[in-house]
Amino acid sequence: MKLKKIASLALAGIMAVSMLTACGEGTGNGNSGSSSSEPTAPTGYTATIYSLLNSKSKSVMSSEASNILSLAVDASAKALDNDTFKESNKNLSAVDVQGHVSGNSETAVSEMGRNVDGKWSVYGIKSGEDDDITDYSLTLNDGDTKVFVMLAPTSLNDTQINSGVAGIVNGLVEDLDTNNKTSTVSYKMSADRELIGSSNAGIYLIAVAISMNETAKA
């Protein structure tokens, strides 16, 4: 079953326009009508996930709260908050990883992907660990932001979910390198999550945005 038209419109309107400039460009304080060149301190879910990353990940990547990412995740959760989606995802603890999900969840995820110019990758968190993730892929060019979507059932506790998210991020950035003879390369991450449905029988929609910037050395 396809998502309702209104869901596609909501995702396209907020995500396709905003998300590709998301990571680190929001004000982080809810004042969406203004912008600032000042960096936003990692707060909320961004800070939670960044604190759980391993030392290697932290050595190549900083973190910054993104109001735009937060708005996009919130809009997506609201668009997907319907009985059909929740019913099709009630057994998410058994969902496959690397974007291979079954039934209506695959339709939902593909809709989200198309609305962010195909820059979404999808992971299912099974038990709070990333043991089932066998193939990571993250290639970024200067100015790119890629967003990785994760779905987790509320039957898992926060510790399980957050450690699973951090494990996936560690895998994604494991091979990133900031050493370059001709340029300085920096990476930055933002994270957010929203609940779809109820806390005792719902699904968490989690998104991690990773961006890359390259500056030529003098």
119: nearest Cα among 189, 48, 16, 26: 16
Per the listing, tokens 């000042």 go with 38
Q: At what angle do helices 44-52 and 158-173 cross, to 10 degrees?
A: 70
- CA–CA separation, 216 and 54 (whole Å): 28
Q: Is the confidence at residue 14, as pLDDT, over 50?
A: no
Residue 15: other Cβ atoms inside 10 A? 26
pTM recorded for the entire structure: 0.66
Q: What is the pLDDT of residues 38-90, one digit of tens each?
A: 445 567 999 999 999 999 999 889 999 887 778 777 777 777 776 666 666 55
Q: Let me know: does 46 contact 192? Beta carbons within 8 Å.
A: yes
Tokens read off for 213: 């910037």
With a pLDDT cut of 70, the percent of the chain lying above it is: 54
Q: Let me know: does 41 contact 142? Beta carbons within 8 Å.
A: no
Residue 144: other Cβ atoms inside 10 A? 16
DSSP 15-29: IIHHGGG-TTTS-SS
- CA–CA separation, 184 and 123 (whole Å): 30
Q: What is the pLDDT of residues 114-147, one digit of tens each?
A: 433 334 444 444 433 343 444 455 677 777 777 7
133: nearest Cα among 150, 110, 156, 119: 150
- CA–CA separation, 63 and 48 (whole Å): 10
* CA torsion, ordered 170, 120, 200, 159, to nearest 10 deg: 10
Burial of 21 (0-12, 13-18, 19+ CB in 10 A): middle
Q: Write the single-letter amino acid at 218.
A: A
* CA torsion, ordered 174, 175, 179, 182, to nearest 10 deg: -140
Q: What is the pLDDT of residues 147-175, one digit of tens each?
A: 777 777 787 888 888 888 888 888 888 87
